[in-house]
């Protein structure tokens, strides 16, 4: 969800206005996924590296997150969306954590779209956490190192309950992964749009999915 800052700058507004507009764009995307019967949507809302931004911006983003969760949970319930989160969630301010867990619990029974927020998320951290978790299992004698394979390692990542993404959409024209789901994106189709995240609409989502439909996925094999 990149480009909030540029969206605001283009209008001579403070960066936080871009983030607020970005939060509104989430609704379009969630609705679009519902229309398309997409099962999982992961939004890279706040990276582990984003903590390094100026304190005022970080604070404003945390307040926005808390408010977003509080205000949008009824809408998530109405739309049958199940909320989940990945990342080092304990890094979030207490009030955010409480609201997040409340929203997750309230939507736990929904069986439509699973909306996964990546918060204080970093893929390298996730992989390191996964390795530590595997090592613990070895130390406790539950598994033998020779048993480790791709499938088992995947079960030690934050994303263990979700399938690997089919499609990655990057907004604002940047051509990098920025430490997002490095392991899980191995065979994901990538789609880059120059649209800034706050301008990203349902139609943009549909265009991305249509383009995805034309791709030939070979997973390293031949057709
Ligand atoms: C992405 O927008 C939102 C967050 C990281 C929270 P940016 O804030 O990175 O927007 P630009 O890159 O400055 O335009
Ligand atoms: Mg950015």
87 Cα: distance to centroid of ligand 1 (angstroms): 18
Range 127-149 average pLDDT: 98
Radius of gyration of the chain (CA): 18
The share of the chain scoring above pLDDT 90, in percent, equals 100
Mean pLDDT over residues 157-186, rounded?
Answer: 98
pTM of the model: 0.97
Cα–ligand 1 centroid distance for 65 (angstroms): 14
Atom of ligand 1 nearest to the CA of 15: 8
Nearest residue to 184 (alpha-carbon basis) of 145, 216, 217, 150: 150
Fold that domain 4-211 belongs to in CATH: Undecaprenyl pyrophosphate synthetase (3.40.1180)
Confidence of residue 187 (pLDDT cuts 50, 70, 90): very high
| Residue with CA nearest ligand 1 atom 5 | 46
What is the tens place of the pLDDT at every residue in 42-89? 999 999 999 999 999 999 999 999 999 999 999 999 999 999 999 999
Ligand 1 atom closest to Cα of 61? 6
Q: Taking CA 39 as the corner, what is the angle to CA 35 and CA 42, rounded to the nearest 5 degrees?
A: 105
Lookup result for tokens 């995947």: 154
The pLDDT score that the predictor gives to residue 142 is: 98
Average pLDDT, the chain: 98
Distance 2 CA to ligand 1 centre (A): 5
How far, in Å, CA of 148 to CA of 159, rounded? 17
Q: Name the pLDDT band for 222 (thresholds 50, 70, 90).
A: very high
Ligand 1, residues at Cβ distance < 6 Å: 1-6, 19, 22, 46, 50, 61, 172
From the CA of 39, how far away is ligand 2's center (Å)?
27
Residues belonging to the active site: 2, 50
45 CA: nearest ligand 1 atom: 6
pLDDT exceeds 90 at position 137: yes
Instruction: Tell me, in angstroms, the distance from the centre of ligand 1 to residue 124's CA.
Output: 20
Ligand that lies nearest to the alpha carbon of residue 5, given by its number in the listed order: 1
Is the confidence at residue 223, as pLDDT, over 90?
no
Structure tokens at 171: 């907004």
C-alpha span between 102 and 86 (Å, rounded): 15
Nearest CA to ligand 1 atom 1: 2
Question: Are the C-beta atoms of residues 18 and 198 closer than 8 Å to each other?
Answer: yes
The end-to-end CA distance of the chain, in Å, is: 33
Atom of ligand 1 lying closest to residue 22 CA:
3
**Whether the predicted pLDDT of 114 surpasses 90:** yes
Ligand 1 pocket test, candidate residues 1, 2, 52, most atoms within 8 A of CB: 2
Residue whose CA lies nearest to ligand 1 atom number 9: 2
């Amino acid at each position: 969800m990149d480009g909030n800052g540029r969206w605001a700058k283009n209008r001579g507004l403070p960066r936080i206005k871009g983030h607020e507009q970005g939060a509104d764009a989430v609704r379009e995307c969630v609705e679009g996924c519902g229309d398309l019967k997409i099962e999982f949507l992961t939004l890279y809302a706040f990276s582990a590296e984003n903590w390094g931004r100026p304190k005022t911006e970080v604070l404003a983003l945390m307040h926005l997150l808390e408010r977003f969760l509080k205000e949008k949970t009824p809408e998530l319930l109405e739309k049958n969306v199940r909320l989940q989160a990945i990342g080092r969630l304990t890094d979030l301010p207490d009030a955010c954590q409480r609201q997040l867990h409340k929203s997750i619990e309230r939507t736990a029974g929904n069986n439509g779209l699973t909306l996964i927020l990546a918060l204080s998320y970093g893929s390298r951290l996730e992989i390191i956490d996964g390795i530590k978790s595997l090592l613990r299992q070895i130390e406790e004698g539950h598994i033998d190192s020779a048993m480790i394979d791709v499938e088992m390692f995947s079960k030690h990542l934050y994303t263990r309950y979700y399938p690997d993404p089919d499609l990655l959409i990057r907004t604002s024209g940047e051509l990098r992964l920025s430490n997002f789901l490095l392991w899980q994106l191995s065979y994901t189709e990538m789609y880059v749009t120059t649209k800034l995240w706050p301008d990203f609409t349902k139609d943009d989502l549909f265009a991305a999915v249509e383009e995805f439909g034309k791709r030939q996925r070979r997973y390293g094999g031949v057709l």
